[in-house]
Structure 1
Amino acid sequence: MKLTLTYALFVVVAGALSLIVVYLAMRFVPYYPLADVNPQAAAIATRPDILRALAKASGIALLFLALVGLGAGWLIAGRVLRPLQDITRAARRAAHGSLDHRIGLTGPRDEFTELSDTFDDMLGRLQRSFDAQQRFAANASHELRTPLAVSRTMLDVAVADPDGQDYRQLVSRLRETNQRGIDITDALLRLSALEHTPPTMEHLDLADTARAAVEAVREEAGARIITLSADIRPAPVTGNGVLLRQLTLNLLHNAVRHNLPTGGTLSLTTGPDPARPGRALLTVTNTGPRLDNTVDRLTEPFLRGSGRLAEQDSTRRGHGLGLAIVASIVRAHHADLTLTANPGGGLTVRTSLPGAPGDDTGTDGNQASV
């Protein structure tokens, strides 16, 4: 209605201005009183008569323009606002919880199509986020319930047959199961803290962090007969030392535990990012099973390379939170995380971190392998 009244008012004002110009122009038309010269010319219209007739005709014309402006304005406003009505209906459906629909506005590129595409993109991101949250809630419930269910089963068996129990072994298994529940809870708390508390940043060399992380996983890699190689070059970054160490350890542990049963390889490199000057690049590559269909979701909590289910071997079992914590640390550092499935199996993880201002990343490094 506002647009209609605006259009109609514009038409009426434009018409009124045109008629006023004509009326004023008519006032300056030369006037010759013919009746003074020729009495028979008295029947000829004089200028005052013409001006009165023009004023009357102008009033009728303005009324006609107002009616035309209202009718045409209503049609034009309805046509202009039709895409906005589609967007409003989609927003109303989204407000009631339906996120699987898209506007898909077609036509020339204008403000409405840009708004439509932006809204569709927002709906897609919201749907993916809500789906991920639902999976997280279901998986977290499963992960937290499993140790409790296992503990209760062992206690029920002990109550049913108290004389036939090896209580030393029972206590050890209960302690291990309880510790697993504590580890999951601690990991969830760390994940939550990373999402809400900005870390303290400092200038440091990612090479030192990577070198310490390699030494921390060297024994586990050797026990699994995994060849570990490291090409560590200076990589000054701006970040939190504790979190970057956690990030590197998580990547290495993930690469070791989701590798081939024996005879696999694992490599780590640090140095300047060749594609983005002024940034440092941490790359971890390992062999392992093919991950073509799951690589895009590996950073979701409780998702493991083989799916949500944990490994039967407790020494290879994780909580499914390693890469989720890595992704949170990356976001906290305003860095970029890229996961790429290797053609022959395994995963390549690249983390591009902001470099330290004023530092010149060198090219000399050291090579370590087992």
Structure 2
Amino acid sequence: MDRQPAFSVRIKLTLSYAGFLMVAGTLLLAAVWMFLLAYVPDRAMLTNQDPDALNGVFPIRSQLLHEFAPKAAAVMVFLLIFGLVGGWLLAGRMLAPLTRITDATRVATKGSLSHRIRLPGRRDEFRELADAFDTMLGQLEAHVDEQRRFAANASHELRTPLAISQALLDVARNDPTQDLSELLDRLHTVNARAIDLTEALLVLSRADQRSFTREPVDLSLLVDEAAETLLPLAEKRGVALETSGDIATGFGSPTLLLQLTTNLVHNAIVHNLPEKGFVWVETGVGPESVLLTVENTGEKLSPQVVATLTEPFQRATERTHSDQSGVGLGLAIVKRITEVQDGTLTITPRQDGGLRIAVELPAAPAHFQQKDV
């Protein structure tokens, strides 16, 4: 936005200081003048009371004005010069922190987010502003780094099925005797994986936009729906799926919360023991929140590995080549949905192997729950 040039803040503060000093000096001189007038008689009074006063025995007002005016003018000139010089120096000292903040902003606009102000001194308004700006730069730098890693990982993940498809087509073209049915099956699997990855990226993008309407959502119903949908997959993998808990009415987007629940249950089924695995899904109610807990058996994981599971395309184990192995975005989507729903996500490794994932979400306001009842 183009703006008209104007005086700098330092000049404005300098003029303000000088103007205030001039006003204060004028009022002080006026008070002194009024005080002197109260004790100095005029010519008419002296003529009536004492004829000798006219000969210079007593000062009169006309003489007082003649003596007072030049000195008062000199004082005002001194106050003006002192106010301008002192105001300029004082304004510069006061605005020095703001100059550092402005310089840091210019550096940040050029793409360098690692620069920090680190304003010294005691805490005041400028120090709080500088600290808040440093915090914002830190968060922005971390967000940009995360987005760069995400873009690189997404490009790699999307490139993989495309490269596999290209290789399969090249082999088929060079070997006309190859079984086309087998080729089509493999192409279908690779294409389905690419579609799943693209849909997961779209879900993650929609969650980031926060374009949804909040309404009461019963998590126990979402658990039942997700369990019913994923029960064939659990049976195919030999995983026992158990659900329990009370009615837990949260407040958020039904679509996103269903996606969250489905991702958690799917992740618990897929990353489980090779056989005779278990998944436990439970809902609960707190004073001001509702809780969704998903536990599963599986490999023993270290806290260091668990801490990385919510990063996009991070897996606790090596990639599995199955049609239900996931695309590495399940828990990343769960984390983002939890954040936009103003909830908290806690992931802890179980002592016997597997994970315990707890999602705490805001409970629906009381008046909504009363309407439902």
Length-normalised TM-score, structure 2: 0.83
Secondary structure in structure 1 of the residue aligned to 2:117: coil
**For the Cα contact (< 8 Å) 1:337–1:349, is it kept in 2?**
no
Residues 33-75 of structure 1 show CA distances to partners (whole Å, capped at 9, x for unaligned) of 4995548963764442223222211111111111111111111
2:135 aligned partner? 121
Q: Which has the higher contact order (CA 8 A, sep 6+)?
A: 1
Q: How far does residue 289 in structure 1 lie from its aligned partner after superposition?
A: 4.3
Moved more, 40-49 or 198-207: 40-49
Distance 2:86 2:212 in 1: 60
Q: How far does residue 13 in structure 1 lie from its aligned partner after superposition?
A: 1.2
1:12 aligned partner? 22
Q: Does 1:271 align with 2:284?
A: yes
Distance 1:56 1:169 in 2: 109
**For the Cα contact (< 8 Å) 1:136–1:301, is it kept in 2?**
yes
Q: How far does residue 311 in structure 1 lie from its aligned partner after superposition?
A: 0.6
**For the Cα contact (< 8 Å) 2:348–2:355, is it kept in 1?**
yes
Q: Does 1:250 align with 2:285?
A: no
1:367 aligned partner? none
Mark the CA change 1:247 to 1:152 in structure 2 (over 3 Å): closer, same or farther.
same
Q: How far does residue 222 in structure 1 lie from its aligned partner after superposition?
A: 5.4
The 5-angstrom pairing of residues 82-161 of structure 1 reads 82-161=96-175
Match of residue 292, structure 1, among 303, 306, 313: 303
1:193 aligned partner? 206
Q: Does 1:336 align with 2:316?
A: no
Distance 1:39 1:60 in 2: 30
2:188 aligned partner? 175
Distance 2:309 2:69 in 1: 79
Mark the CA change 1:174 to 1:270 in structure 2 (over 3 Å): closer, same or farther.
same
Residue type of the partner of 1:67?
Answer: I
Secondary structure in structure 2 of the residue aligned to 1:237: strand
Q: Does 1:207 align with 2:220?
A: yes
Residue type of the partner of 2:313?
Answer: F
Matched residue count: 352
Mark the CA change 1:6 to 1:241 in structure 2 (over 3 Å): closer, same or farther.
closer
Task: Give me the identity figure in percent.
Answer: 43
Q: Does 1:354 align with 2:362?
A: yes
Residue type of the partner of 1:212?
Answer: E
Secondary structure in structure 2 of the residue aligned to 1:56: helix
Residues 294-344 of structure 1 show CA distances to partners (whole Å, capped at 9, x for unaligned) of 5555444333335xxx61332562111212332343345x33032333374
Distance 2:306 2:34 in 1: 78
Mark the CA change 1:11 to 1:317 in structure 2 (over 3 Å): closer, same or farther.
same
Residues 60-117 of structure 1 show CA distances to partners (whole Å, capped at 9, x for unaligned) of 1111111111111111111111111111011101111111121122322221111111
Secondary structure in structure 1 of the residue aligned to 2:167: helix
Match of residue 81, structure 2, among 53, 67, 74: 67
2:290 aligned partner? 280
1:311 aligned partner? 319
Residues 103-156 of structure 1 show CA distances to partners (whole Å, capped at 9, x for unaligned) of 122322221111111111111121111111111211111111111100111122
Residue type of the partner of 2:38?
Answer: F
Mark the CA change 1:15 to 1:53 in structure 2 (over 3 Å): closer, same or farther.
same
Match of residue 34, structure 2, among 24, 28, 41: 24
Match of residue 237, structure 1, among 226, 241, 250: 250
Mark the CA change 1:47 to 1:89 in structure 2 (over 3 Å): closer, same or farther.
same
Residue type of the partner of 1:104?
Answer: R
Mark the CA change 1:53 to 1:39 in structure 2 (over 3 Å): closer, same or farther.
closer
Q: How far does residue 263 in structure 1 lie from its aligned partner after superposition?
A: 6.2
Gaps of 5+ in 2: 1-10
Distance 1:315 1:174 in 2: 12
Q: How far does residue 191 in structure 1 lie from its aligned partner after superposition?
A: 2.7
Distance 2:214 2:197 in 1: 27
Cα RMSD after superposing both structures: 2.9
Length-normalised TM-score, structure 1: 0.84
Q: How far does residue 219 in structure 1 lie from its aligned partner after superposition?
A: 5.0
Mark the CA change 1:105 to 1:266 in structure 2 (over 3 Å): closer, same or farther.
farther
